[in-house]
Structure 1
Amino acid sequence: MLLAGIQTAVSLIYPPQCLGCGGLVGSDFGLCGTCWSGMSFISGTVCEGCGVPLPGEADGFRLECDSCLRHPRPWSQGRSALVYEGQGRKLVLALKHGDRTEIAQTAAVWLERAAQPMLQNDPLICPVPLHWTRLLKRKYNQSAVLADALARRAGLQHCPDLLRRIRKTPALEGKTRDQRYQLLGSAIGAHPGRLNRIRGRSVLIVDDVMTSGATLCACTDACLRAGAADVRVAVLARVTQT
């Protein structure tokens, strides 16, 4: 009773605010009607490689988008919760650059729903790593925050430093697909002290946004070189025009 009373008092002093616009909402970490209508959630028939929405209905065979057909992915399955546009894009950018780490709690709900087919067989969850110089500047790795929130919701193990950036690379924004792949090269590798956690395991790599897939390819290759049995990827948002 005392705890309930304290929570009620706190909610009166600090009423729940919309994650998008800051307006009042009915519960913590929610969205108002206007911001909700600006979200592009992915559902229905999707690409097995990256989770982008596809027209038509599933026919029992593996379906892939044109991008995944042109450039086969080294991972086995991929899912995305949102299309990277509108209000969803604003939330991703706020999580990534705006110190809005609380967004990860709600984003993990969306990501868990999208990634449900890939949460079987106890996969080890890990984030796409940041180079230490970028981590020092940004103060946190948004992918690690998201991966931790997803692991907690799904009741799965999370290893935030399973992978590491061996070499610093420039920002990938504005780079072409080929430039991204060339820049990443062998920039990502498995942490030498975590090899025993990768060998023979299924690994689920988590990131905030997938554009060309170059970063996720580098992460997947690192896991496979280290002996992972299977690699899957889950991203909060998918850029549909690459």
Structure 2
Amino acid sequence: MGAGDDLFSELLSKSAAMPAAGRDMLHSFFRLIYPPTCAGCNRMTGGDGALCPGCWRDVAFIDRPFCEVLGTPFARDHGEGVISARAIADPPPFDRLRAVACHEGTARKLVHRLKYQDRTDLAGLMALWMLRASDGTVDACDCIVPVPLHRRRFLRRRFNQSAELARHLARAAGKPLLAGTLLRVKPTERQVGLSAPARQDNVRGAFSLAPGREADVHGKRVVLVDDVYTTGATVGAASRALRKAGAADVTVLTFAMAVSGPI
């Protein structure tokens, strides 16, 4: 997607109150000037929110067989319900994790553009893929909770990419979005470049339920949304806060997952 797609997203929001005929005419005229482009490489495409064939082939989608707990892909099918050695040796504080694709190629570009280039127009497309990858957990959940930013970082960045994904996901699935229930109460460093132990230390005690909001998740099936899963330190700390508040079931759902390869 290029600059035209940013303008198109803004146009969509501002023209929502227009009569349908006028809105369609305005959109058609706009697309004559700014044809839709691929979300991965900016080549022209046949429709909005699409990938060209090359970028589509470049997405390493994560499908079964994979670990039922961590969602990491297996090199071969070991049978139904198999759990990886890592999940057995070091059980995570959440019940399961699901991700759309490996954090490489086109998927990595989409995450980078959303997170660092303010491309919030990509969140809708990415959220639809996340809904498909959720393995039915979004349909079965009681609420959707994004991994929050600390208020200082939110003021610098102006938006939370995880909240944008969660907002579109909740709208597509018809589920409650609890954007203010989980707070990041500790101003952590950026996780990029830190070792796994340093990441754990960085986010220890970083999350807490907003005062008086424990009932939002107590006894509930929660889907926790983030953009990327790497070592699991961030979603692990957030999951512990949800568990402490009484969440009955926690699914972590991310767009991308950093994996070294099928296991």
TM range (shorter): over 0.9
Q: Distance in 2 between matches of 1:67 and 1:9?
A: 54
Question: Alpha-carbon deviation of 1:37?
Answer: 2.0
Tell me the residue number matched to 1:18.
Answer: 38
Tell me the residue number matched to 1:33.
Answer: 53
1:224 aligns with 2:209: no
How many residues are matched? Answer: 241
Q: How does 1:195-214 map to 2 (within 5 A)?
A: 195-214=214-233
Q: Distance in 1 between matches of 2:26 and 2:213?
A: 43
Q: Distance in 2 between matches of 1:212 and 1:2?
A: 49
Question: Alpha-carbon deviation of 1:67?
Answer: 3.3
1:157 aligns with 2:185: no
- Gaps of at least 5 residues in structure 2 are 1-20
Deviations 1:103-159 (A, max 9, x none): 111101110110032124332101111111111111100000001111111111111
Q: Distance in 1 between matches of 2:216 and 2:95?
A: 19
Q: For residue 208 of structure 2, give the secondary structure of its aligned residue in structure 1.
A: strand
Q: Distance in 2 between matches of 1:112 and 1:58?
A: 25
Q: How does 1:1-242 map to 2 (within 5 A)?
A: 3-57=23-77, 59-60=79-80, 62-241=81-260
Q: Distance in 2 between matches of 1:34 and 1:238?
A: 21
Assess if the C-alpha contact under 8 Å between 2:162 and 2:227 holds in 1: yes
Tell me the residue number matched to 2:8.
Answer: none
Q: Distance in 1 between matches of 2:158 and 2:213?
A: 23
Amino acid at match of 1:162: T
Q: Distance in 2 between matches of 1:207 and 1:234?
A: 7
Provide the TM-score with structure 1 as the length reference: 0.93
Which moved further from structure 2: 51-60 or 93-102? 51-60
Deviations 1:16-54 (A, max 9, x none): 111112221011011112222221111121122222211
Assess if the C-alpha contact under 8 Å between 1:162 and 1:191 holds in 2: yes
Assess if the C-alpha contact under 8 Å between 2:139 and 2:173 holds in 1: no
Q: Distance in 1 between matches of 2:61 and 2:154?
A: 29
Amino acid at match of 1:78: L
Assess if the C-alpha contact under 8 Å between 1:52 and 1:83 holds in 2: no
Q: For residue 209 of structure 1, give the secondary structure of its aligned residue in structure 2.
A: strand
Q: Distance in 2 between matches of 1:2 and 1:165?
A: 43
* Percent pairwise identity: 37
Question: Alpha-carbon deviation of 1:99?
Answer: 0.4
Provide the TM-score with structure 2 as the length reference: 0.86
- Please provide the CA RMSD for this pair: 1.7
Assess if the C-alpha contact under 8 Å between 1:50 and 1:80 holds in 2: no
Q: For residue 212 of structure 2, give the secondary structure of its aligned residue in structure 1.
A: helix
Assess if the C-alpha contact under 8 Å between 2:70 and 2:96 holds in 1: yes
- Gaps of at least 5 residues in structure 1 are none
Amino acid at match of 1:87: T
